[in-house]
Structure 1
Amino acid sequence: MNAVTRAWEAAHGPGSVLGLATSHKAVNELHASIGCPSMTIARLLAMSGEDDTRDQECREHELVQRLTRENDPRERIRLRIQLAGIHASRQAGVIKPGQLVIIDEAGMVDTRVLARITGLAAQAGARIIMTGDPKQLDSVSGAGGMLGWADRHDACRRLSSIWRFTAKPDKWARDPQGAASARRWEGESRATLRLRDGGDPLDEASVKACRALVAQYAAHDRIHWGEDPDIEETAYRMCIGWQRIGKTTLLIAGTNEQVRDINRRFILERRAAGKSEADPDRLMELMDGLSVGAGDQIVCRVNDHDIRSHDGRSIENGMTFRILDTSDGAAARVKSLDDGSIWDIPRGFLKTGCKAGYAATIHGSQGMTVDRCAALFPAQASLTCNLQYVAGTRGREENHFLYGCEPEEQRRTDHMLTGAETDPRRIALDRMAHALLTHPETLTATETRDMETRNRYDLKRLIHEHDYAAGLIAGPHLLAMLAKTHDQATVEKIKRSPSFEWLRGTWSRAWTADPKRALAIISRPPDARRHTTGIDRTRSLACQAARTLLAGRTPGEGTGTRITITLDAEADTIGMLTGMLDDTGIGHTASPTGDRRTSISVETRDTPALKAMLDTWMQCRDDISPDRIDGWATLRATARHETRQDPELAKKARPTEPDWAATIAGRLNAGLLDKTNGSVHDDWVGGVIPPIKTSKHSQALDLVRQNERLIERKTRTLAQKAKTSGEAWVRPVLQATSHDPGLLRDIAVYRAMWDIDDPDTPLGGKPPATCARQTQHWANLNGRLNHTTGTANPNGDTRDHPYRRHTTEVRVEHHDPATNNTRQADRQRSTPWQTKPQPSSTPSPNGLSL
């Protein structure tokens, strides 16, 4: 920036550049770099009257009204003088016409503050340059991210040369090992670029590169480790040692609590060594609760225009001072460590606006540069790539990372529970590597809004919402159709399956697409493999399920409360069940109550194990079922209650009923919808969603209709965006739209549904055969685009099926509302299962049209 400053001043004269920064320390750094007047942003806004704009406008309006009504000449002159003063104050802003305003560390500035500064610059006719690193810290006072936005959208110029670091041998002349010290690292500047970028946790090569970078830092003695108290001691001694050989130092602590503790230690040690005031009557309290006296170092954390130095400057956030005298009692006389100016700071302001100044957090350190820096991270401190990068770039000569860990006993406990690492060195190296792979994404408010809007109106999300809302309408109809071909117990089991919601949405599509085929599919037994498990295998599985819920139980824990169920089963089956109860150790009594009926009584604490045993048996065989067990509902409720009372038991208990809803939904997709929905239907919503037809108007139907309009709008947007994108894949599609107008929309929808980003080919590569629906969708569009067959598997099975259509010659119909005519595009397109159901004039009692 120094070169930019010199070039601007050469063209516009001295004083034509103004530097702005967020803190007083950063201002000093910027002033030393560019050699021009610099100030904090807060001071600029205060001097420009920006904080009092509304009061000024009200005052000006009041004076104008009084001047209009006033007749006394003297009073009119006085009012004009006051108005002139307001105008002069407004026009005498710090920013001058033709001036260049450099905002340093702009990534830390609130976007609203940037807007106020740019407004002042525009009003004065000045120009603004924002500088900084988007990979460093973001604004902590409000919405930020402007620097990151400029970087992501290439609205900036990037500098590749690094000037901060030095490896000149004379800088280590007073070190114990001199210039031969392993800590003198000529490649540190290049390493910090990799420290800045970090890595991708999903890329194995990137992870390996991050670990190699960590190894480089360790090889140059830049990584240190130990338990929290020990590593804090190490950091403190490092800074003391550097100061003894004349180096400027910075100790960065991970948390505000740690900063306070380190500051306390500096104060007490200096007091014990006689370097600061020890008389309790002469100590003054700071806002962090620490007491300081003459000789101690403090830092200001707020702006106050009423507190001024002897030369008239107001106090600002970030100023550091050395206390000279506190004998006054009402104020402390201090000396600025930046320029040597003398201040008298009131005792009250010390308690509300100042802290001890020996250590700082990472956020407080940004913008600071010292000779050597020690960054301390306690065991519980979270660490990301940008935080680690800022901490590792404050020193010109050396930057050290000190990672704390838990005490040894705690590390051993964590290792036994989770397998965590116990070696402090490995913990430190792993923490540094993990931070390199952890990236917080900082977006502007506009980018966040755009991202949320894209996610809300994403085509796949809209389709999922349509399926859910349509499933609410189709649910009663589905249960009615299931009841025609299955017993009530099976229907109930399907209804309480975890995937029943998915089945409802799938049914709404299937019934609309091909009602006969859909009804044939759901009429099949839900579990085609049921009743095939042998007796021995069933017994083994049932006993295993019961023992899992009995493990860890102490004998004699029972309450004495019992529950009784009655089974209607063959004697061999009853004998098998009681034998399994004996094998698993479940106490029970069994007594016949009539023909084929036997009562079994167990303690309530054993009901989870008994239920698991019966559930497993009923999954494998059909000689026991819930409708043949009196008291089954009571057993289930009791077992559920017992499970909830014991957290350990709740972890072991798992649902054992099969998810028949998922089975049926999978069959509907594989046997019908993968093929039907893989084809594009011009009379469907967006060409891909079958419109719901129902005789009952409900809130769910309103949601469906609203969703259908959103899908239609989204597909039109996709088509328009593709048409104007100029991408290579669009050209062959536009050439084919003369005889197939809907092709561009349909291909744009395909690309959005299946995440196709190939810039050259419209459909991308052919999907794998395992993705049946996408394969048929691809074949359908490929047939329309390249005049080939639209069948996904043209040489596959063509055996007769009562609901299969063998026609492969299908025409795409396009209705012209102006002429009420339908024209057909001669295209080869396979549409298996594309029989269009004709709605009945008499709706079914379940709501869906038949």
Structure 2
Amino acid sequence: MTVAQEAARLAAVQQRWSFHPDQLVIIDEASMVSTFQLAALVQQAREANAKILLVGDPGQLDAIDAGGVLGWLDRQEKTTRLSSIWRFHEKWEGASSLKLRRGDYSAILDYEKQRRISHGTYLDMVDQAYLAWQADTLAGKSSILIAADNDTVGMLNERAQADRVAKGEVDPEISVLLNDGLYASSGDTIIARRNDRGLVDSGGDFVRNGTLFDVEGVSRRDGSLLAVRRETGARVVLPRTYLESSVELGYATTAHRSQGITVDTGHTVVTQGRLTRELLYVSMTRGRYGNFAYVSEGDEAEHPAMDPALRLSWRSILGEVLAAEGAERTAHEVREAERKKADSLERLYAEYDYLAQIAAAQSLKQCLNKHDGGSSLELDQSPSWGAAVAAWRNATTVSPQGAERVLEETLRNTTGTHDPSALLSMRLRRFLKGMPTASIDPLVEELPLARPDLAELVDQVRERIRLRTDTVTMTALTEDLEWKRVLAASLGSDASGQLIRDVALFRDEWGISDSPLPLGASPADYEWEQRRQRDKLQEAIDGVRDRQRPPQLATSAVNFPLSQHVVLTGAGWQL
């Protein structure tokens, strides 16, 4: 080939992929396009006087890099939405899938009513999902297994392949290595994980990410394989390099990689803490005729719970998934959210706590200076000084005299102590143990404010807390909020104004803004204060619900009061 011919070829390629005036460029799965990529495409289209059309679902997965543009356009009501759902055979499933998309918990009730949800131990759920998938494939249906993690996907793929080998449906004599570390042979099902326009099938279409193929044969000579596209029956030869970099066994896949797949039935294994709302929505919308969830509630044999009462039920696990929104926000939305958060109770309480710690530290230093030898210990240089100040603040709130007595006793017995601050912190916490304590209210806490500038800052923050409390309360009582509707539905009637106020202030204090669940997702174990407040509110909600239930007739000769129930814990029986 001459230089002129190569130049002409390159020019033709460039011309083919350049935008032209009045050209319409459609970008499918636009939610997965990053902001920088989209900006580059828009710039090229503007220069060529072309038009770009974004198509996709912002309720599905986002770009790996910074993205969120499609979702932002949707939230700004600058998009056009399709009015009908054509994928599902069952009409109810279309409506319920939209509930999943927006995190509406009533969707779980719909799927439960249609017997689409199973629950149990992890191994049982993996087994049930596999057997259901196997039954569908034997019945001639196209089906996919979906899991949250690669380990479960690998386990399911290996089991499916082994069963097909045992039945003689897969010939393991000649195999080729795939990207997931497993091997494919004639008769296997594989899935492409990358677009490659250089690989064109017999129907003229290129290999796309998410396409399912059936392996017809493996070349012993070069390690390539002949595959048949599941949807169209077109054949294509996949080279060894593409197989090793971009192909996996296709019996099971992760929730993230399932986007773009369409089959007759989908079977999803749900494990706690592994899925977001978007991933569950994608997983439960792959099948035309049925989508099934298998919720793992843990394995008591391998990981026994210290307190069985604290183990989440399958409903709570799915509720957490729906509350865990993973959709990315644009930089503009993040900036606006941070601006609004500046006056939230979450931020104001943090500011107040910072100022209160300064006041408590000064109070502790003054008390140390009152005692001989106290100031010479340099307790404030210890890594435990912050913990000692926090304990001092709590102790002086309960009993100033008692806290000072503990300090005196500690100072008298510091000989040989490596860290007097740690010792003081421990003894103050021991002093508080068993005493009635409650959450510190910034509006009524008496702080030892010796510095006028500190007192002025505390007054400013307290006034902002009062204003924010009034604003949050008024908004919660007067506006139609989604979490209020969910709360009313769980109670069977409208909640009282006091309960709505308490829930609204709790949400604002802990930054729960988007969750449709009244109390949000269950907090992490280390968020003990949030968990304590949440449990208290949950008791109030349960109390309202119990009072509205009709009285039950006694069914036995012995009736225990409701307040005295027996709980089986890891430490034994507790009354």
The match for 2:65 among 142, 146, 165 is: 142
Which residues of 2 match residues 3-14 of structure 1 at below 5 A? none
- Indicate whether 1:113 and 2:113 are aligned: no
**1:386 alignment counterpart:** 278
Q: Distance in 2 between matches of 1:463 and 1:435?
A: 28
Amino acid aligned to 1:130: L
**1:166 alignment counterpart:** 89
Q: Secondary structure at the match of 1:250?
A: strand
- Contact 2:210–2:261 (8 Å) recurs in 1: no
**2:549 alignment counterpart:** none
**Superposition deviation, residue 326 in structure 1:** 2.0
The match for 2:446 among 666, 672, 675 is: 666
**1:323 alignment counterpart:** 215
After superposition, the Cα gap between the structure-2 partners of 1:336 and 1:363, relative to the gap in structure 1 and judged at 3 Å, is same
- Indicate whether 1:198 and 2:95 are aligned: no
- Contact 2:68–2:327 (8 Å) recurs in 1: no
Amino acid aligned to 1:163: W
Amino acid aligned to 1:143: A
- Contact 1:283–1:291 (8 Å) recurs in 2: yes
RCO comparison, higher one (Cα < 8 Å, 6+): 2
Q: TM-score, normalised by structure 2?
A: 0.63
Q: Distance in 2 between matches of 1:453 and 1:328?
A: 63
- Contact 1:459–1:753 (8 Å) recurs in 2: no
**Superposition deviation, residue 258 in structure 1:** 1.6
- Indicate whether 1:355 and 2:245 are aligned: no
Q: Distance in 2 between matches of 1:461 and 1:308?
A: 56
Q: Distance in 2 between matches of 1:131 and 1:97?
A: 21
The match for 2:184 among 284, 287, 292 is: 292
Percent identity of the aligned residues? 29
**1:399 alignment counterpart:** 291
**1:104 alignment counterpart:** 28
Amino acid aligned to 2:309: G
**1:130 alignment counterpart:** 54
After superposition, the Cα gap between the structure-2 partners of 1:444 and 1:316, relative to the gap in structure 1 and judged at 3 Å, is same
- Indicate whether 1:215 and 2:117 are aligned: no
Q: Secondary structure at the match of 2:415?
A: helix
**1:447 alignment counterpart:** 333
**1:64 alignment counterpart:** none
**1:227 alignment counterpart:** 121
After superposition, the Cα gap between the structure-2 partners of 1:417 and 1:322, relative to the gap in structure 1 and judged at 3 Å, is same
After superposition, the Cα gap between the structure-2 partners of 1:472 and 1:389, relative to the gap in structure 1 and judged at 3 Å, is closer
**1:588 alignment counterpart:** none
**Superposition deviation, residue 242 in structure 1:** 2.4
Amino acid aligned to 2:84: S
Q: Distance in 1 between matches of 2:427 and 2:115?
A: 47
Which residues of 2 match residues 228-243 of structure 1 at below 5 A? 228-243=122-137
**Superposition deviation, residue 351 in structure 1:** 2.5
Deviations 1:189-226 (A, max 9, x none): 22222222225xxxxxxxxxx3x543332221111123
Amino acid aligned to 2:282: V
Deviations 1:432-470 (A, max 9, x none): 233223323521244335555776899997999899899
Amino acid aligned to 2:405: M
Q: Distance in 1 between matches of 2:49 and 2:182?
A: 47
After superposition, the Cα gap between the structure-2 partners of 1:82 and 1:286, relative to the gap in structure 1 and judged at 3 Å, is closer
Deviations 1:741-773 (A, max 9, x none): xxxxxxxx97798338869x9xxxxxxxxxxxx
Q: Secondary structure at the match of 2:414?
A: helix
Which residues of 2 match residues 438-477 of structure 1 at below 5 A? 438-448=324-334, 451=337
After superposition, the Cα gap between the structure-2 partners of 1:315 and 1:676, relative to the gap in structure 1 and judged at 3 Å, is closer
- Contact 1:468–1:501 (8 Å) recurs in 2: no
Amino acid aligned to 1:197: R
- Contact 2:210–2:259 (8 Å) recurs in 1: no
Which residues of 2 match residues 602-751 of structure 1 at below 5 A? 618=405, 632-634=413-415, 654=430, 666=446
- Contact 2:227–2:238 (8 Å) recurs in 1: yes
Amino acid aligned to 1:754: L
Which residues of 2 match residues 446-845 of structure 1 at below 5 A? 446-448=332-334, 451=337, 618=405, 632-634=413-415, 654=430, 666=446, 754-755=467-468
Q: Distance in 1 between matches of 2:239 and 2:233?
A: 19
Amino acid aligned to 1:634: T
Q: Secondary structure at the match of 2:275?
A: coil
**Superposition deviation, residue 376 in structure 1:** 1.5
**2:257 alignment counterpart:** 364
**2:237 alignment counterpart:** 344
- Contact 1:255–1:361 (8 Å) recurs in 2: yes
**Superposition deviation, residue 428 in structure 1:** 2.5
After superposition, the Cα gap between the structure-2 partners of 1:618 and 1:222, relative to the gap in structure 1 and judged at 3 Å, is same
Amino acid aligned to 1:188: E
After superposition, the Cα gap between the structure-2 partners of 1:453 and 1:639, relative to the gap in structure 1 and judged at 3 Å, is closer
After superposition, the Cα gap between the structure-2 partners of 1:436 and 1:670, relative to the gap in structure 1 and judged at 3 Å, is farther
**1:204 alignment counterpart:** none
- Indicate whether 1:255 and 2:160 are aligned: no
**Superposition deviation, residue 163 in structure 1:** 2.8
Q: Distance in 2 between matches of 1:500 and 1:239?
A: 58
- Contact 2:177–2:243 (8 Å) recurs in 1: yes
Q: Distance in 2 between matches of 1:235 and 1:397?
A: 16
After superposition, the Cα gap between the structure-2 partners of 1:274 and 1:637, relative to the gap in structure 1 and judged at 3 Å, is closer
Q: Secondary structure at the match of 1:102?
A: strand
- Indicate whether 1:278 and 2:172 are aligned: yes
Amino acid aligned to 2:89: T
* Count of aligned pairs: 459
Q: Distance in 1 between matches of 2:217 and 2:416?
A: 82
- Contact 1:310–1:343 (8 Å) recurs in 2: yes
- Contact 2:97–2:107 (8 Å) recurs in 1: no
The answer for unaligned runs of 5 or more in structure 1 is 1-77, 168-185, 200-209, 503-525, 532-614, 645-649, 680-687, 690-748, 762-850
- Indicate whether 1:153 and 2:76 are aligned: yes
Q: Distance in 1 between matches of 2:125 and 2:458?
A: 63
Q: Secondary structure at the match of 1:269?
A: helix
Q: Secondary structure at the match of 1:278?
A: strand
Q: Secondary structure at the match of 2:227?
A: strand
Amino acid aligned to 1:247: K
In terms of Rg, which structure is larger?
1
**Superposition deviation, residue 255 in structure 1:** 1.4
**Superposition deviation, residue 348 in structure 1:** 4.0
**2:438 alignment counterpart:** none
Q: Distance in 1 between matches of 2:48 and 2:198?
A: 28
**1:560 alignment counterpart:** none
Root mean square deviation, CA, Å: 5.4
**Superposition deviation, residue 135 in structure 1:** 2.3
**Superposition deviation, residue 284 in structure 1:** 1.6
The match for 1:432 among 300, 313, 318 is: 318
After superposition, the Cα gap between the structure-2 partners of 1:453 and 1:219, relative to the gap in structure 1 and judged at 3 Å, is closer
**2:17 alignment counterpart:** 93
After superposition, the Cα gap between the structure-2 partners of 1:452 and 1:273, relative to the gap in structure 1 and judged at 3 Å, is same
Q: Distance in 2 between matches of 1:462 and 1:213?
A: 36
Amino acid aligned to 2:25: V
Q: Distance in 2 between matches of 1:478 and 1:227?
A: 52
**Superposition deviation, residue 101 in structure 1:** 2.7
**Superposition deviation, residue 257 in structure 1:** 1.8
**1:419 alignment counterpart:** 309
- Contact 1:263–1:357 (8 Å) recurs in 2: yes
Q: Distance in 2 between matches of 1:274 and 1:434?
A: 43
Q: Secondary structure at the match of 1:149?
A: helix
Q: Secondary structure at the match of 1:147?
A: helix
Deviations 1:383-404 (A, max 9, x none): 3322222222222222111112
Q: Distance in 1 between matches of 2:208 and 2:248?
A: 13
